[in-house]
């Protein structure tokens, strides 16, 4: 059985050209980049070349890019150390953030280091910008942490609007851009963000490597101590071939972005229409049919209550289809989707997240929809 992979929001396949970029640093160029001899200098040069490339693509300075092990480390570093170093006592976030943000904010509140406020959301998961401004009025010296593209339902944040509010009230603005990095242009000379993050494996790069952008003038202390790497911002020997792979993957993503967007948005729209035709009472979480405000790589689908919630993903897997997701929590003991719960989704309806990449096809979508009609108990549509 040839498996169909529709879980690209979790991780993407490695692009062969990225692997080609990494192999010399895995095979021959093995020196420690902190060493001053020839072997080390060659590898140090590869890191700085990658940093320059990332900065060029994001229209910023190489001095503002710092490599990490991924998005989670970058989010933790930014949120925790901004609170500690900048005297921030108030974090504004939402209940549908990635746990790298939510759990970090909750931990800081538990330790008595900051209070956490949750901005209100509408039924589709969009931020109430009026409420955000009210929260800023109560404490302008806040850290706003709101993700650009939601990893479960795909809603997009208006980065410009939040940046304007942050600037107007003197707040700092961090956005988890893990799901949108490599899929949308991030012009950091224009965007009014103090911090953003990226993870290579979300745009066909290697796992275990990411980066954070720290705007000049908003430097913070390191989160990981033990060495002078990353200009004293992250101790530990660098993941050299991962860093080179990240830069190559981002370069390819920017070069292919328009074509990629058109292809993947087409797959998402096609799956929406096919599901509507094939499964009565199918619903969609978030606002997926609004292409201007919905991440084109993500589609969260809610199926009729007659379907077996606990077995949906299992049965998809048995049929050779990789997807992810989960229903809203129906009780305090449930381990369900905190995002769907926050959006008050019906817990009796099983949900699944399908996420797409440049490697998916319409034929795969047809197969998935046909399998779903059987799994959820709907007679096949010819």
| Residue ranges in the chain whose pLDDT is less than 70 | 307-310, 327-335, 379-382
- pLDDT recorded at residue 219: 84
Sequence-ordered list of residues with C-beta below 8 angstroms from that of 24, at least 6 positions apart, any chain: none
State whether residue 143 is helix, strand or coil.
strand
Whose structure tokens read 């901004």? 82
**Cα separation, 318 vs 68, whole angstroms:** 36
pTM: 0.94
What distance in Å separates the CA atoms of residue 380 and residue 382, rounded to the nearest whole number?
Answer: 6
Fold (CATH) for 257-375: 3.90.1150
Q: Where in the chain is the domain with CATH 3.90.1150.10?
A: 257-375
pLDDT of residue 311: 87
Q: What is the rounded distance in angstroms from the CA atom of residue 243 to the CA atom of residue 229?
A: 13
Q: What are phi and psi of 349, to 5 degrees?
A: -100, 120
pLDDT in tens, 224-263: 999 899 999 999 999 999 999 999 999 999 999 999 999 9
Separation of alpha carbons 45 and 168, rounded Å: 40
Q: What is the pLDDT of residue 327?
A: 61
Q: Give the pLDDT score at 382.
A: 40
Residue limits of CATH 3.40.640.10 in the chain: 16-255
**pLDDT for position 68:** 98
Q: Which fold has domain 16-255?
A: 3.40.640
Cα separations in angstroms, 287 against 145, 146, 281, 283: 21, 18, 16, 11
Residue 59 to residue 225: CA distance in whole angstroms: 29
Residues identified as active-site: 329
Burial readout 249-273 (b: 16 or more C-beta within 10 A, e: otherwise): bbbbbbeeeeebbebbbebbeebbe
């Amino acid at each position: 059985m040839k498996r169909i992979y529709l879980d690209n929001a979790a991780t993407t396949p490695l692009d062969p050209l990225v692997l080609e970029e990494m192999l010399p640093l895995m095979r021959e160029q093995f020196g420690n980049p902190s060493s001053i001899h020839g072997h080390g200098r060659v590898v140090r040069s590869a890191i700085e070349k990658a940093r320059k490339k990332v900065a060029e693509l994001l229209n910023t300075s190489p001095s503002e890019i710092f490599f990490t092990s991924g998005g989670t480390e970058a989010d933790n570093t930014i949120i925790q150390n901004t609170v500690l170093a900048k005297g921030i006592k108030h974090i504004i976030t939402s209940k549908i953030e990635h746990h790298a943000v939510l759990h970090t904010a909750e931990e800081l509140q538990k330790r008595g280091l900051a209070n956490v406020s949750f901005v209100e959301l509408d039924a589709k998961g969009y931020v109430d910008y009026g409420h955000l401004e009210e929260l800023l009025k109560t404490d302008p010296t806040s850290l706003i942490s709101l993700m650009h593209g939601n990893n479960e339902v795909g809603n997009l944040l208006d980065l410009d609007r939040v940046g304007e509010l942050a600037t107007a009230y003197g707040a700092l603005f961090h956005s988890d851009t893990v799901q949108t990095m490599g899929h949308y242009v991030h012009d950091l000379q224009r965007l009014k963000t103090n911090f953003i993050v990226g993870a290579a494996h979300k745009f066909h790069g290697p796992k275990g490597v990411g980066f954070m952008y720290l705007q000049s003038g908003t430097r913070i202390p390191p989160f990981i101590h033990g060495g002078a790497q990353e200009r004293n911002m992250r101790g530990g020997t660098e993941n050299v071939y991962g860093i080179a792979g990240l830069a190559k993957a981002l370069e390819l993503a920017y070069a292919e972005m328009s074509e990629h967007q058109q292809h993947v948005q087409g797959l998402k729209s096609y799956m929406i229409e096919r599901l509507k035709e094939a499964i009565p009472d199918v619903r969609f979480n978030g606002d997926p049919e609004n292409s201007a405000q919905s991440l084109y790589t993500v589609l969260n689908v809610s199926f009729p209550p007659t379907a077996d919630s606990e077995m949906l993903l299992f049965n998809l897997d048995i049929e050779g289809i990789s997807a992810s997701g989960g229903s809203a929590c129906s009780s305090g003991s449930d381990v369900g989707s905190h995002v769907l719960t926050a959006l008050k989704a019906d817990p009796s309806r099983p949900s699944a997240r399908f996420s797409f990449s440049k490697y998916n096809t319409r034929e795969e979508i047809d197969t998935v929809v046909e399998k779903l009609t059987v799994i959820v108990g709907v007679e096949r549509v010819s």
